A and B are shown apart, each in its own frame.
Chain A
Amino acid sequence: GQNIDQPTEMTATEGAIVQINCTYQTSGFNGLFWYQQHAGEAPTFLSYNVLDGLEEKGRFSSFLSRSKGYSYLLLKELQMKDSASYLCAALDSNYQLIWGAGTKLIIKP
């Protein structure tokens, strides 16, 4: 079957760095997305990786290892507004997104 695993909840301190991990098992693979979702709002796109390696975009970076079925989202210089759920989603061979349950990130002052 197809499966996405990510931690349910993480806590970090304002100004610090946090890494949210995601492992995936899909039928075929056409890339991995990270989305941010604030409570009561729709997800917003953060990153897309299809090749191995690290993609950096401001305070956020995303890493992919296709051989390990593994990705992480790295958030630097955490701000209170980063408190949200972070959704990992893999695109399978049919170009269908398989969603993880999301990681709720709590930022403390």
Chain B
Amino acid sequence: GAVVSQHPSWVICKSGTSVKIECRSLDFQATTMFWYRQFPKQSLMLMATSNEGSKATYEQGVEKDKFLINHASLTLSTLTVTSAHPEDSSFYICSASGGRDYNEQFFGPGTRLTVL
């Protein structure tokens, strides 16, 4: 089946630093990758959609200068949280589509970010 990995699985950083999260599709080419954020006891919130080789499309209310997304290849997308603050602490999940079923999204295991 389609496998998506994320790295790191958890990260703790100081306020003001930047954190990069990688999302990789291991056994298929992901034409589209999605980045979600999930706060405790809440549902997934889509942050942005990225297609390989083009700029990401950000959801309303998501600062594109703060959450930098790069989808440089069909197997890798990165999310960089710049100048992180405690309120950015959350569970960040990526998903990828482009596998056997166009409509299906395959999720990475998520990255738990804690900003001190």
B107 pairs with A97, CB closer than 8 A: no
- Count chain B residues whose beta carbon lies closer than 8 angstroms to a beta carbon of A: 20
**Set A42, A48, A102: member contacting B104, Cβ < 8 A:** A48
| Cα of A50 to Cα of B103 in the assembled complex, Å | 10
Min distance, Cβ B41 to any Cβ of chain A, angstroms: 8
| Cα of A39 to Cα of B42 in the assembled complex, Å | 11
**Set A30, A44, A91, A101: member contacting B107, Cβ < 8 A:** A44
**Set B45, B49, B103, B108: member contacting A30, Cβ < 8 A:** B103
A42 pairs with B107, CB closer than 8 A: yes
Interface residue B101 (Cβ < 8 Å from any Cβ of A): yes
| Cα of A41 to Cα of B107 in the assembled complex, Å | 10
Min distance, Cβ A47 to any Cβ of chain B, angstroms: 10
A42 pairs with B103, CB closer than 8 A: no
Chain A residues closer than 8 Å to B108, beta-carbon distance: 42
A96 pairs with B93, CB closer than 8 A: no
A41 pairs with B110, CB closer than 8 A: yes
| Cα of A43 to Cα of B46 in the assembled complex, Å | 14
B44 pairs with A87, CB closer than 8 A: yes
Interface residue A99 (Cβ < 8 Å from any Cβ of B): yes
Min distance, Cβ A98 to any Cβ of chain B, angstroms: 9
Closest to B97 in A: A95
Q: Which positions in B face A, CB cutoff 8 Å?
A: 34, 42-46, 49, 91, 93, 101-110, 112
Given contact pairs A87-B43, A87-B44, A99-B44, a sample of 18 additional A-B residue pairs in the complex whose CB atoms are under 8 Å apart:
A33-B104, A40-B110, A42-B93, A42-B110, A43-B44, A43-B107, A44-B107, A45-B104, A45-B107, A48-B101, A48-B103, A50-B103, A91-B103, A96-B46, A96-B49, A99-B45, A99-B46, A101-B43
